[in-house]
A and B are shown apart, each in its own frame.
Chain A
Amino acid sequence: MINVENLTKRYGDQRAVDNISFSIETGEIIGFLGPNGAGKTTTMKIITCFMPASSGRVEVDGLDVFDHSLEIRRKIGYLPETTPLYPEMNVREYLRFVQALRSMPRSGRESRLADMIDLCGLGEVIHKDIGELSKGYRQRVGLAQAIIHDPEILILDEPTIGLDPNQVVEIRSLIAALGREKTLILCTHILSEVEAVCSRVLIINHGQLVADGSPDTLRAGLEGRQRLLVRLKAGADIGQLRQTLAVHEGVSVEELPAAEPETLEFEITGGVNGDLRENIFRAVADAGWVLLEMRREVQSLEDVFRDLTQGGERADNVQ
């Protein structure tokens, strides 16, 4: 449905987006992740026909976004990063304005507007000026604007930015509901949002695509690098523990500063050879030490993200 090929956008000498390619199928819910300034918004601006690429192609339904701009704009609903609202209009006027410019059939406008009010919970504010609304309501109005013409493709750029936690939950569940019917691209740097909603994640960093896959596959990519925190009662011998575990390839044992008196703490990170917990337990029991605590850290999407966007600091730790 959306096909991006070798897309590059230059601002002067700087490459905001550097030769990225991906394609999105109908009905997918894509999380477009990246730190601030990674090129997410620029990519979205190109797909929505706001500005052209410096080189490369973007096709929506087989049509080039630059040559068939009007047709493609009809298919897309877009909520830009800065919610595009006119403070002097009231919510109803604003949504009617967008409907008119979307050339929706006149007969259907009023009922569709009522649906939007329902779906986005705008009943209480429909006659208020947008300038008087809270951030949460503004965001909902922005969202209503993006979906009012029932677009095939919905692009939301940081839809929950600046909202309080309750509003975030509300908007997120609204997005999840919308995602059931549409092709949806959600740009964000908030990882829990992606985990909650998306079926596929694209991670972009310094204008380049660094990962593409489902949240589960991305996590699995890190799974070999398990990380265990082990606390033993004083008297254990780190050298001996290392030796015992050395039969497993790529395992490293680091001593950490002990948080409790009379204890020793280790961080054990391991290669790709399955669960190390049993081996550790046996090694400790055979040596006659006392195991006080053992905890396995589950890799989160956050780890994947940090790993991919911070020049691989964590990868170094694991070595």
Chain B
Amino acid sequence: MFSNTMTFAGRELKSYFNSPIAYIVIVLALVISGWLFFLNFFISGQATIRGLLTGSMPLVFMIFVPAITMRLIAEEKKSGTIELVVTLPVTDWEIVLGKYLAALVLLTITIIMTFTYPITIGMLGDPDGGAVAGQYLGLFLLGATYLAIGLFASGITANQIVAFLTAIVLIAAFYLVGNFVVFFPGPLASVLEYIGVNYHFQNLARGVIDTKDLVYYAGMIFLFLFLAVRSLESRKWK
């Protein structure tokens, strides 16, 4: 099980870095986040990273993550390689997990590259290390959840553009749902708040690591990976 997953992950990673996609997407994510960071830095004259990590990065990821997941399954469906992959003696879970892992590595590399910002801040002042760590953990889990959603979106179509847009719409829905809680009555509002990704992200970003939030992210990731597997299996529905 593990070795097949790693084989898929390895192939996907190589193909990310053999084509310009990975470089373009990473550079774009860094340029945009860098611009947002220095905008804050010079215009507001504040050496802070909190706004970037908790406010801007979730929005940057909303575009960045679908861009790295859109091809994962859709391209195989389009080119016909899916027929090879699913007629090999491997399970659909191995395929999906392998692809997810590759995307997760790419995401992690990108996140690590943004470490330059807190390091810059650290040279100028004395940031709260715990809060920054919490924000990064939150960002990682947020990105990992987006990836699962993006992978699912890639599984339901053979068209990468459709996969990209579907993922953005789904992610935006989960991100924004928390903003509409004020319009709903009490119990429903707290349910909606819990469903939204941003609520849990803000909890972690305050430096409070609560199992409730970790369970939420793990649940979301599992749910969408499960749906991605189901989308691969959909060919088997009679």
Contact = CB atoms under 8 A, between A and B. Distances in A.
A291 interface: no
Contacts of A45: 83
Contacts, number: 75
A76 interface: yes
B236 interface: yes
A97 B80 contact: no
A71 B79 CA distance: 26
A51 B80 CA distance: 14
A145 B84 contact: yes
Interface stretch (A80-88, A159-167, A189-197, A275-283): A80-88
A112 interface: no
Contact of A98 (B79, B88, B91): B88
A81 B84 CA distance: 11
B4 A82 contact: no
A150 interface: no
B44 interface: no
Contact residues on A (Cβ < 8 Å of other chain), bracket = 20 to 34
Interface stretch (A23-31, A99-107, A219-227, A306-314): A99-107
B15 A88 contact: yes
A78 B236 contact: no
B87 A49 contact: yes
Contacts of A76: 87
Interface residues of B, number: 25
Contacts of A49: 86-87
Contacts of A52: 236, 238
Interface string A29-72: 00000000000000001001111111000000000000000110
B108 interface: no
Contacts of B82: 84
A16 B109 CA distance: 47
Interface in B84-105: 84-91
A74 interface: yes
A52 B235 CA distance: 8
A49 B85 CA distance: 11
Interface in B9-53: 11, 14-15, 18-19
Contacts of A113: none
Given A88-B18, A89-B15, A97-B11, A50 B86 contact: yes
Contacts of B80: 80-84
The A interface is mostly helix, strand or loop, or mixed, namely loop
A142 B15 CA distance: 19
Nearest to A86: B81
Nearest to A50: B87
B7 interface: yes
The B interface is mostly helix, strand or loop, or mixed, namely helix
A5 interface: no
Nearest to A71: B89
B3 interface: yes
Interface in B198-238: 235-236, 238
Contacts of B236: 51-52
Contact of A86 (B7, B15, B87, B90): B15
Given A86-B15, A89-B14, A97-B11, A70 B84 contact: no
Given A84-B81, A89-B14, A101 B90 contact: yes
B211 to A, nearest CB: 37
Contacts of A296: none
B89 A101 contact: yes
B89 A103 contact: yes
Contact of B79 (A53, A82, A103): A82
Contact of A54 (B87, B91, B238): B238
Interface in B52-97: 79-91
A50 B81 contact: no
Interface of A: 45, 48-54, 70-71, 73-74, 76, 78, 80-86, 88-89, 93, 97-98, 100-103, 145
Interface of B: 3-4, 7-8, 11, 14-15, 18-19, 79-91, 235-236, 238
Given A73-B87, A73-B88, A80-B84, 19 more contacts: A50-B235, A51-B236, A52-B238, A71-B89, A76-B87, A78-B84, A82-B83, A84-B82, A85-B81, A86-B81, A88-B14, A88-B19, A89-B11, A89-B14, A89-B15, A93-B14, A101-B8, A101-B88, A101-B89
5 smallest CB-CB distances across A and B, nearest first, come from A84-B84, A82-B80, A84-B81, A80-B83, A73-B89
8 contacts: A50-B87, A52-B238, A70-B89, A84-B85, A93-B14, A97-B7, A101-B7, A101-B8
